Amino acid sequence: MKGAIFYENDKIYTTLASYLITEGYVIVVLKNKIEDLHLFSREEYEHLMDVVEVVRNSILRTLNIKKVYLIYMDEIKHVY
């Protein structure tokens, strides 16, 4: 999946999903394993949401879509 990364910093990377559920399906992945959102510090959570906002705005502009959904799934015990 390395080739599909389109944003990365020291804590997070974003990538196009391998299996698209819908157009523009993107995954925001934490580099450090944090098992649940409630385990984030305020700073970590705000950083994650800042990245989500940048990605959301990029998708809205690039794909000319009207809405972006944020989904949090907990099946693998790693926030992504």
- What pairs with residue 15 in β-bridges? 5, 27
Number of C-beta neighbours around residue 73 at 10 A: 9
28: in domain: yes
- What pairs with residue 30 in β-bridges? 12
Asked whether the predicted pLDDT for residue 2 surpasses 60, the reply is: no
Helix (H) or strand (E) holding 7: strand 5-8
How many domains is the chain built from? 1
* Per-residue model confidence as pLDDT tens digits over 18-64: 777 777 788 888 888 887 778 889 998 899 999 999 999 988 888 88
Query: Which domain CATH number covers 43?
Result: 3.30.428.10
Q: Are 34 and 78 in contact (CB under 8 A)?
A: yes
Q: Are 58 and 68 in contact (CB under 8 A)?
A: no
Provide mean pLDDT across the span 6-17: 88
The confidence band for 74, taking pLDDT boundaries of 50, 70 and 90, is low
Q: Locate 78 and state its tokens.
A: 């790693």
pTM as predicted: 0.78
- Structural domain harbouring 33: 2-63
